[in-house]
């Protein structure tokens, strides 16, 4: 006569279906694909900056865009890692990338104080709101892909996974939109482009955990 535990195991065995494991390679392929799709859609809808087309880059643009891309890569890597739990895992690498990217708003703030508070007006607020909205919207592609990935995974901290999903989404989104945005001003980038990342991270922290089921 089967015991309760035997019944239980037999039930699970009967429910077994083949599953493709969430390997790092697959996760990175999805991340690269969603980033490429984001850039493609942005280029198609808004067009690329002239210096991106000609290859004569502005140094501030290169530095800022690179920082956002690296933050996106680091946060994405952390999300993929969190979906595959393991005692002994660490997910702190993204903090260094976030600290480096934070230099942009911090620098804008420091320079703004030196300029007696004129940073906000010099940051092109009217265009900045467009960057905030469009960067955040473009981030939905990466955010959606990572959220679907997380739903199959087993993040032991859904709240942090949500925050990092939003951070990755916002970073990739604003990276893509930076390839269109014509402003190289540190105030503009430090305030509005950073706000897109912060807003996405907040949205991820609020909405994504509820979508992760154990």
Partner 1 sequence: MIADDATMARLMAMSQAGDRQAYATLLAECQKWLKRFYARRIVPHQIDDLVQDTLLSLHRKIASYDPARPFLPWLAAIARYRWVDHLRKVYKADETGFDDSFAADSSEPAIVARISLERMFSYLPPAQARAIELVKIEGLSIAEASHACGQSESLVKVNIHRGLKRLAAMIEKE
The residues binding partner 1 (CB under 8 A) are: 4-24, 83-89, 152-154, 156, 213-214
Q: Which residues of 100-117 are buried (b: 16+ CB within 10 A; e: fewer)?
A: ebbebbeebeeebeeeee
CB of 164 to partner 1, least distance (A): 16
CB of 152 to partner 1, least distance (A): 5
CB of 210 to partner 1, least distance (A): 14
Which CB sits closer to partner 1, 127 or 159? 159
The tokens for 26 are 């697959």
Which CB sits closer to partner 1, 18 or 117? 18
Which CB sits closer to partner 1, 104 or 212? 212
The tokens for 79 are 């999300």
DSSP string for residues in 70-94: HHHHHHHHHHHHHTS--TT----HH
CB of 15 to partner 1, least distance (A): 7
CB of 213 to partner 1, least distance (A): 8
Burial-class residue 89 by CB neighbours within 10 Å (0-12, 13-18, 19+).
exposed
The helix or strand, by DSSP H or E, that contains position 212, with its residue range, turns out to be none
Which CB sits closer to partner 1, 21 or 92? 21
Which CB sits closer to partner 1, 23 or 118? 23
Total Cβ atoms within 10 A of residue 199: 17
């Amino acid at each position: 006569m089967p015991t309760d535990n035997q019944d239980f195991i037999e039930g699970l065995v009967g429910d077994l279906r083949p599953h493709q494991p969430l390997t790092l390679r697959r996760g990175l392929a999805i991340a690269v694909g969603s980033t490429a799709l984001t850039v493609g859609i942005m280029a198609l809808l808004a067009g690329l900056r002239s210096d991106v087309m000609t290859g004569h880059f502005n140094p501030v643009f290169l530095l800022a865009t690179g920082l956002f891309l690296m933050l996106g890569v680091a946060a994405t890597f952390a999300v993929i890692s969190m979906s595959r739990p393991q005692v002994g895992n660490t997910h702190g690498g993204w903090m260094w990338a976030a600290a480096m990217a934070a230099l942009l708003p911090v620098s804008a703030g420091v320079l703004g104080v030196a300029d007696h508070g004129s940073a906000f007006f010099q940051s092109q607020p009217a265009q900045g709101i467009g960057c905030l909205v469009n960067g955040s919207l473009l981030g939905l592609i990466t955010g959606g892909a990572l959220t679907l990935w997380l739903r199959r995974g087993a993040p032991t901290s859904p709240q942090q996974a949500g925050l990092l999903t939003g951070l990755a989404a916002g970073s990739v989104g604003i990276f893509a939109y930076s390839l269109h945005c014509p402003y190289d001003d540190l105030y503009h980038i430090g305030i509005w482009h950073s706000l897109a990342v912060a807003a996405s991270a907040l949205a991820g922290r609020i909405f994504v955990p509820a979508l992760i089921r154990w």
